[in-house]
């Protein structure tokens, strides 16, 4: 049986430029699939993905969950006899998927090249600066007042007790960035799921899981597995990535909880109990969690930074903007956040406000560019995990036909 293959040459070129430049060195020996500790026997990867990529079968790869089940541990790259670096190729494919599923496309494509870095930093920096200017809050507090209120009057203050001026301006900035990111990711995973589902043979199954069933049977177990790093722990060659990746993930979970707590304290209970307004006390356990999470974030990113430099020095990875961009952003968020708090403790408002401004810019960048950077694997890999469980279930594999 013959098959007509129409390769997408532009796709092949983009993958090469994103770090998959060794793609053509693969000669299909399947060592990579044998070496991969998490590759399943019934549908092994990354050999088939290397074939798809060499042939330029973009649509196949865009709807292939195994692209995201790969954890980029490097076991396959270490064992490859031709130096084809399969893990780097799959990383480049993921970068292509993030870009092409991202919305708006102009913003997604902007995140693919270091030449756009001045604009990537400049847009959030300008937005925060203009909002700061409009707010009328560009006045440095005295040392004693700064020690008391911290940065909670960065955008100024008014007497409207239902919503502080600072929170209003931060909400406008952050919720806009988050809204763009959430919509982009929603569009992306919807298209991704449709593509993955189209490859399944579901003719013998007459029912589908409801939302509650889906969350209970597929999504929640996937989230638990991801938090526990079960598959990540199976990687051998580059196991140090787990040492950096796990505290980084736990740090974000901790900081998310702290953010929710601060919001409820200040803007819900604070309406009825004005004394709750202001920074979280240094003796509050939630503050301890925030500090521990910040340290864990910095520790995790340092480990990943060192690991990436080591891989590049050994020739098992290529220096790409795609890989370094999200490392820079997370490092900026962690360092500026911790530095801003220390400057508040020692009561240096002039330097503290500058550092806090940079912190706000870095947080906006983290949210806004999440769907188009390597950080997007948080959502896309979770979707792939859930789909992997779904395709192995009775909803797809009818046990009566086994």
186 and 162 both lie in a single domain: yes
- Return the higher-pLDDT residue of 118 and 402: 118
398 is a domain residue: no
Q: Which of 258-272, 351-365, 378-392 has the lowest mean pLDDT?
A: 258-272
pLDDT digits (tens, 9 = 90+) for 315-359: 777 888 988 998 999 999 999 999 998 999 899 999 999 999 999
2 is a domain residue: no
333 and 237 both lie in a single domain: yes
95 and 116 both lie in a single domain: no
361 and 280 both lie in a single domain: yes
Which of residues 60, 75, 101 is at a domain's end? Answer: 101
4 is a domain residue: no
168 and 269 both lie in a single domain: yes
- Return the higher-pLDDT residue of 179 and 230: 179
Which of residues 37, 71, 101 is at a domain's end? Answer: 101
72 and 113 both lie in a single domain: no
286 is a domain residue: yes
77 is a domain residue: yes
288 is a domain residue: yes
258 and 127 both lie in a single domain: yes
163 and 296 both lie in a single domain: yes
- 294 is in which domain, residue-wise? 105-391
Which of residues 101, 124, 149 is at a domain's end? Answer: 101
215 and 83 both lie in a single domain: no
Q: What pLDDT score was predicted for residue 1?
A: 46
CB 164 within 8 A of CB 266: yes
User: Taking 70 as the threshold, does the pLDDT of residue 399 lie above it?
Assistant: no
276 and 162 both lie in a single domain: yes
Rg over alpha carbons for the chain, rounded to the nearest Å, is 23
200 is a domain residue: yes
The span from the CA of 168 to the CA of 191, in Å, is 34
151 and 232 both lie in a single domain: yes
**Mean pLDDT, range 184-202, rounded to an integer:** 89
84 and 112 both lie in a single domain: no
112 is a domain residue: yes
**Mean pLDDT, range 154-163, rounded to an integer:** 84
Q: What pLDDT score was predicted for residue 201?
A: 65
Number of folded domains in the chain? 2
């Amino acid at each position: 049986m013959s098959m007509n293959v129409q390769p997408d040459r532009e796709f092949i070129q983009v993958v090469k430029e994103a770090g998959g430049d060794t793609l053509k060195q693969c000669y299909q020996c399947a060592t990579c699939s044998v070496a991969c500790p998490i590759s399943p026997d019934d549908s092994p990867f990354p050999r088939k993905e290397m074939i798809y990529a060499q042939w330029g079968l973009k649509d196949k790869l865009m709807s292939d969950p195994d692209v995201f089940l790969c954890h980029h541990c490097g076991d396959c790259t270490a064992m490859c006899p031709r130096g084809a670096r399969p893990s780097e190729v799959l990383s480049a494919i993921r970068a292509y998927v993030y870009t092409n599923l991202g919305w708006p496309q102009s913003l997604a494509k902007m995140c693919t090249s270091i030449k756009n870095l001045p604009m990537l930093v400049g847009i959030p920096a300008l937005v925060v600066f203009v909002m700061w200017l409009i707010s009328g809050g560009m006045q440095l507090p005295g040392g004693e007042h700064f020690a008391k209120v911290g940065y909670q009057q960065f955008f100024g203050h008014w007497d409207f007790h239902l919503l502080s001026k600072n929170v209003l301006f931060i909400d406008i900035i952050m919720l806009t960035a988050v809204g763009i990111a959430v919509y982009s990711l929603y569009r992306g995973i919807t298209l991704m799921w449709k593509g993955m589902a189209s490859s399944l043979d579901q003719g013998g199954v007459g029912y589908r899981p409801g939302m509650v069933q889906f969350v209970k049977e597929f999504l929640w177990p996937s989230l638990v597995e991801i938090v526990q790093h079960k598959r990540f722990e199976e990687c051998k060659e580059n196991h140090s990535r787990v040492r950096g990746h796990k505290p980084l993930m736990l740090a974000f979970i901790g900081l998310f909880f702290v953010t929710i707590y601060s919001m409820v304290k200040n803007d819900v209970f604070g309406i009825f109990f004005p004394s709750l307004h202001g920074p979280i006390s240094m003796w509050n356990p939630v503050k301890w969690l925030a500090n521990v999470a910040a340290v864990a974030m910095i520790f995790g990113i340092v480990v990943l930074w060192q690991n990436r430099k080591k891989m590049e020095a050994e020739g098992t990875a290529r220096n790409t903007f795609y890989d370094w961009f999200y490392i820079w952003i997370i490092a900026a968020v962690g360092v500026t956040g911790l530095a801003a708090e220390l400057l508040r403790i020692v009561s240096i408002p002039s330097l503290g406000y500058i550092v806090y401004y940079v912190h706000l810019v870095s947080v906006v960048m983290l949210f806004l560019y999440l769907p188009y950077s390597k950080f997007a694997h948080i959502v896309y890999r979770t979707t792939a995990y859930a789909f992997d469980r779904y395709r192995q279930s009775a909803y797809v594999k009818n046990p009566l036909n086994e």
